[in-house]
Amino acid sequence: MTWFDESRLDDEIALGSADLRLRTLAESGARVRREAGAADDAIAEAVARASDARPRAVIAAGPDSRLLRAVLEPWCPVPFVAWPSAGLPGWAGSLDLVVVLAPDGSDTGTASAAAEAARRGCQVVVACPGESSVAQHAAGRWTTILPTSTSDQLATAVVMLSFLHQVALGPSCDPAAVAQALDEVAIASSPQRDISINPAKMLAITLADAAPVVWGGSVLAARAARRVAESIRRTSGRTALAGDAEHLLPVLEAARVRNVFADPYADSGGERRPVLIVLDDGADDPASNEQRGRLEEAARSRDVRVERVSTEADGEVARYASLLLNGTYAAEYLRLGLVED
């Protein structure tokens, strides 16, 4: 039987066993700064090469293209296509810009897409390790490699988004602001801060005996919700859902109203009640506000707890990074507190 021991979240020995994972999270801001700084010269080269004319379309190739889609689709002034499968669209050619994220640089499908883009004469910008397989396949006259040295997808994406902003194809993405947002989360969620003042530890306690239902209203908050749910499933082995409001409402509405006189141990039958986690990036969109209201009303009507994770970071990408790291810290603390009886 697995149960949650919240005392482990402030226990030095238990925290020491999770030091590597927690340290990796704490270094998120430093990785963004390091990667952005190391790629400065390459970004300037790519900007100079792209300054002649605006591309007909932007194609984000490879499986890591979904993050770029979440950022660029509402903003990009030219047609934008995310192409996570192997290869490229049949119409892609010399008038188009192909951007590729390859954090570890070894994915064969991404390498194939980069090689095809170079062969077709597309302008190609690839963020990947400089000596990687993807970099070698992407080599060509119109290719620029933005060198990275980490497998951190967010840090790699910030390098690419910085380039896209400078050529007026993407929203503002200040690496310093993203790094600052990540640092603030790391300080607030530090293992050295006890449960009473640590938002990630408190969220982990909320998740301990619940079935998380995670929702984000904006495109980026929704992506953060999916990533946070993935982290919870990975660290706990339990069910965690993320999706649009219409997909999550039936889960909340199916929850049985809590009986205040019931014995929570004898009468639960091992069932975990849902808890609604709202990731709030401050986007003031009428449709999102309406959906959030419906979810919260459904939760209140069924006596389902609602937890809100919010951020005031500067910029869309920084807010996404803040929400994602908050949720990932909570997932790690959930892992730490779960013990086998």
**CA pseudo-torsion sign 43, 44, 49, 51:** positive
Residue 183 lies in a domain: no
Number of structural domains (the chain) is 2
pLDDT-derived band of residue 1, with 50, 70 and 90 as boundaries? confident
* Rounded average pLDDT over 121-139: 95
| Chain-centroid distance, C-alpha 312 | 17
Nearest in space to 93 (alpha carbons), one of 126, 113, 118, 76 = 118
Q: Residue 178 falls within a domain, yes or no?
A: no
Whether residue 48 is found in the same domain as residue 153:
yes
Identify the CA nearest to 199 among candidates 307, 278, 321, 306: 307
Instruction: Please give the pLDDT value at position 256.
Output: 85
Of 141, 172, 203, which residue sits at a domain end?
172
| Mean pLDDT in residue range 12-31 | 97
Task: Give me the CATH number covering residue 75.
Answer: 3.40.50.10490
How much is the pLDDT for 85?
Answer: 82
Above 60 in pLDDT, residue 115?
yes
Q: What is the pTM of this model?
A: 0.93
pLDDT mean over 66-81: 93
pLDDT by residue (tens digit) across 226-280? 999 999 999 999 999 999 999 999 999 999 887 666 665 555 556 789 999 999 9
Same domain membership, residue 14 and residue 74 = no
Does residue 196 lie within any of the structural domains? yes
pLDDT digit string, tens, across residues 74-96: 899 999 999 988 789 999 999 99
- Same domain? For 131 and 215 the reply is no
Final residue before a domain boundary, out of 142, 172, 202? 172
Q: Are residues 14 and 35 in the same domain?
A: no
- pLDDT: which is higher, 66 or 306: 306
User: Does 298 fall in a domain?
Assistant: yes
Question: Helices 65-72 and 316-337 meet at what angle, rounded to 10?
Answer: 130
**Do both 141 and 78 map to the same domain?**
yes
Q: Is position 82 within any domain?
A: yes
pLDDT digits (tens, 9 = 90+) for 184-228: 999 999 999 999 999 999 999 999 999 999 999 999 999 999 999
153 in the same domain as 197: no
pLDDT range class, residue 313, cuts 50, 70, 90: very high
Final residue before a domain boundary, out of 143, 172, 201: 172
Which residues span the domain enclosing 151?
A: 30-172
In a shared domain, residues 334 and 201: yes
pLDDT on residue 50: 86
Q: Is residue 13 situated within a structural domain? A: yes
Q: Is the pLDDT of residue 132 over 70?
A: yes
Tell me the pLDDT of the chain averaged across its residues: 93
Task: Identify whether residues 195 and 70 lie together within a single domain.
Answer: no
pLDDT tens, position by position, 140-161:
999 999 999 989 999 999 999 9
Q: What is the pLDDT of residue 39?
A: 96
24 in a structural domain: no
| Greater pLDDT, 270 or 128 | 128
Residue type, 118: A
Confidence check: pLDDT of 337 > 90? yes
202 & 247 share domain: yes
- Residues 196, 329, single domain; the answer is yes
Q: What is the CB-side half-sphere exposure of residue 178 using CA atoms within 13 A? A: 26
d(CA 6, CA 17): 15
H/E segment holding residue 339: strand 338-340
CB 76 within 8 A of CB 56: no
Q: Residues 319, 291: one domain?
A: yes
Q: Choose among 258, 260, 253: nearest CA to 297.
A: 253
Residue 331 sits in the same domain as residue 271: yes
pLDDT (0 to 100) of residue 268:
52
| Residue 49 vs residue 274, higher pLDDT | 274
